[in-house]
Chain A
Amino acid sequence: MKNLLILGAGTAGTMMANHLRSKLHLNKWNITIVDQFKTHYYQPGFLFLPFDTYTENQVKKVGKKFIPKGVNYIQKKIEKILSEENKVELEDETLDYDLLIIATGSKIAPEETEGLIGPLWKKDIFDFYTYEGSLALRNKLRDWEGGKLLVHITEMPIKCPVAPLEFAFLADSYFRDKGMRDKVDITYVTPLTGAFTKPTCSTALAYLLKEKDIHMESDFAIEHVDNDKKEIVDFEDRRIPFDLLVTIPTNMGDEVIEKSGLGDDLNFVPTDHNTLQSKAQENIFVIGDATNVPASKAGSVAHFQAETLTDNILLYIDGYPLKKEFDGHANCFIETGNNKALLIDFNYVTEPVHGNFPFAKIGPLKLLKESLFNHWGKLAFRWIYWNMLLKGIAIPFVSRNMSFKGKVFDIKPEKK
C-alpha cells in the first residue's frame, strides 16, 4: 500500500480528498488528511457576518462531514514536514508518505504590524478574516454610533483581494439602512495605487466609490498603529485618524511551512504556476492559499486548481509528464451593496472582461456589471459550496481554464 497524505482540511484539502478517493484504487492507496481544527468555516461568509446578513451557524460545520468514506481523517496539529525523508511529524506521531499535498492555507498575522495587537485590538480595531474577528466586529457594529471608519489593507497578497472593497460597499448599505450614513465617514486605505488597479476595472467601476461616497487613501504602506492618537502611520509619517479600524493584516502561510523550511518570506510554498508541483520535491504538490502562485487566494481558484491537480497526481503516479494546465483562472462575485453584485472572470494574463457568463449571449450572469442576479448568485454560492464544491462535484458549464466565449475585450467607458 502507498500513502497519499493531505495537510489541511480546508476548502482545497477537502476537495482533493473527494476528488482522489474516487480515482485512486482502494487496495493500492491509503489517503489520509490531517487538520488540527474540528470546524470547517465557509470563509466567504465572514464578509456577511458583521452586517448580520448571515448567522454563526450558516458559516460553520463539522469538517469531518465533508471527508469521504475511505479517507483517514486525523484531527491533530502538524508539527513539521520532513521533505527529505518523506515524513510528517504530528503532535504525537509521525506519518510516512509517498505523495504529499500541502493545503495548509493562509491566515492573518496581525503581530507583523507594530501596535495592531495593542490596547485597541477588538475594541476599536478589528479584522474580519477570522470567525472570531468577524463576530466581534458584528457585535461592535450593532451599537456603534458612527465616526471615521477605515477599511484598510496592510500589504499584498491577501486572501480574497476584493473582500475589503466589498466590505466598504456593504458598510455603506448597512449604515444607510440604519439611517445613520451621515454619521459615518468611510475611507478605503490601500498600499496599491487605488481600489481598482487594472485598467479595465478602473474604467468600468470607478463610479462605485463616488456613488457610495467612499473616500480613498492610496499608496499607504502601514508602519505602525498609534494607539494613543488612534491613527495609522506609514513609513513617511503620513497619518490617518480613525474611530473604527477594520484592517486586513498581513496574510501569511502556516508556520509549519516555515518550520519545515519550505516557504518564502511570507511562508507561501514556491510552486510551479501551471502544474502545481512544489519546487522543492517532485512528490510534493501544493494547492490553494498555501502556494506562492500569482493567482488570487480564493475558493474558486482552489476549485479550478483541484481539477488540474487531480489529473496531475494521476499522471505523476503513472510516471507520465505533468500537464502545464492551470492558467490562474478565478471567478468571483463582488458584492456592491444594495443587493447587487458584480461578477469577474480572469486569469494570470487576462484582465477581467465584460460579457455574459457562463453562456455567450445568454448569461444569465453579467461580467463586470452590477446586477441583482449576480447578488443572488453570490448568496446561492453558499449552498453550492457546502453541497457541490467541497465534494469535488464540477460546477456545470464552468471550466477549469478561462473561456473566451461571450466576452468583450475592448472595454470602453460605459454610459450610465
Chain B
Amino acid sequence: MALKTIAGVELKVSEDGYLDDMSQWNEEIAKEIAKEIGIELTPKHFEVLNHLREKTAAKEGLTIRSVGKSGIIDVKGLYVLFPKGPLKFSSKIAGIPKPTSCI
C-alpha cells in the first residue's frame, strides 16, 4: 500500500494505483485517474463506472461478459470507452479493486 494525492485528497492505493477504500471515491478522483491513463470521461463512462461500483458493493464478481450483458453497454462499446484492457482500467477509475485470480 502507498499514499497518493488524487484530486487534492490523500488516498491509500495499491502498488498499481487502485484505491484501497472504494467509499473514498468521487467523480473528481475518477477524472484524475482517467486522465493519467489517457481517457477523458463522458457521461457514458460514468454510467459504466457507477454500474461497476454497484456490483462491487453487492459483492458480485465482475467480468467483461457481465458488463457486456448489463444493458448499459456491449463488449465492443466497453473497449471503445476503455481501450486496451477495459476491465482493469474501468475498475481503476471506478475506485474498486483490480480484477485478480487467486495468485
Contacts and interface: CB of A to CB of B under 8 A. Distances in A.
A370 to B, nearest CB: 13
Nearest to B63: A155
Interface stretch (B5-13, B31-39, B83-91): B83-91
Contacts of B59: 273, 294
Contact of A236 (B14, B66, B84, B101): B84
Contacts of B15: 199
Contacts of B103: 161-162, 165, 196-198, 201, 205, 334, 344, 352
Contact of B63 (A156, A201, A219, A296): A156
A65 to B, nearest CB: 31
Nearest to A295: B102
A262 to B, nearest CB: 16
Contacts of A161: 101-103
Nearest to B64: A221
B59 to A, nearest CB: 7
Interface residues of B, number: 26
B44 interface: no
Contacts of B84: 219, 236
Interface string B70-101: 00000110010001111110000000001111
Nearest to B85: A219
Tell me if A's interface is mostly helix, strand, loop or mixed: loop
Contacts of A277: none
Contacts of A155: 63-65
A221 B102 contact: no
A210 to B, nearest CB: 16
Contacts of A344: 102-103
A201 B88 CA distance: 18
Contacts of A346: 102
Interface string A164-205: 010000000000000000000000000111001111010001
Contact of A265 (B65, B87, B99): B65
Interface residues of A, number: 34
Contact of A235 (B16, B61, B79, B99): B79
A161 B101 CA distance: 7
Contacts of A201: 103
Interface string A18-45: 0000000000000000000000000000
Contact of A197 (B61, B75, B76, B98): B98
Contacts of A219: 84-85, 88
B71 to A, nearest CB: 11
Nearest to A346: B102
B4 interface: no
A406 interface: no
A220 to B, nearest CB: 9
A156 B100 CA distance: 9
B64 A192 contact: no
B98 A193 contact: yes
B4 to A, nearest CB: 16
A38 B14 CA distance: 48
Residue in B14, B69, B84, B103 with the greatest tally of chain A CB atoms within 10 Å: B103
Q: Which has the most chain A C-beta neighbours within 10 Å: B65, B76, B85, B102?
A: B102
B76 A235 contact: yes
Given A219-B88, A235-B75, 10 more contacts: A155-B64, A193-B85, A197-B103, A199-B15, A221-B75, A264-B60, A264-B66, A294-B61, A346-B102, A352-B102
Interface of A: 155-157, 161-162, 165, 191-193, 196-199, 201, 205, 219, 221, 223, 235-236, 250, 264-266, 273, 292, 294, 296, 330, 332, 334, 344, 346, 352
Pick the 6 closest A-B CB pairs, nearest first: A197-B100, A219-B85, A201-B103, A161-B101, A296-B102, A235-B79
11 contacts: A156-B63, A156-B99, A191-B64, A219-B85, A221-B86, A235-B75, A235-B79, A264-B66, A266-B63, A296-B102, A346-B102
